Amino acid sequence: MHELFTQVLNYKDLSKAGDLFTISDDAIVNDLSEVINIICEITSFPDYVNNDNDQSVVEICITRVTTAIRETGSMEQHAEAMVTLLESCLNHNLKPSQMEGDPPHAKISSDIISCMFLVSIQL
């Protein structure tokens, strides 16, 4: 996995997360399965729903991953990893609340589904 992804995901380093957009799309998709596995781990921690830093790191990482998939046209190769992440979200609350809006796992699900459908429309 690219060292920048390692730093951002393992240390949940939000200050470096924006730099993920300097990594080539091809490098991102080459590491995609490993990145998705780590994201699944982070989002499964009990305190994830209350940890704004972790949620922001995951959101930026997912945005970078979905952008790379769209730009490389590689959704078919990575659909299984994306579905795995989507399935992991089903183990958590996805119902919006009036006070807080969409829970973080619902946001992840929405991003993944949007990516899948936007890519399939372009094909």
pTM for the model: 0.91
Give the integer Cα–Cα distance in Å for 94 and 96: 6
- State the chain's mean pLDDT as an integer: 93
Residue 42 · residue 48 · CB < 8 Å: yes
- Helix, coil or strand: residue 23: coil
| Residue-wise pLDDT tens digits, 34-80 | 999 999 999 999 999 999 999 999 999 999 999 999 999 999 999 99
CA distances from 26 to 30, 35, 65, 68 (A): 6, 14, 10, 7
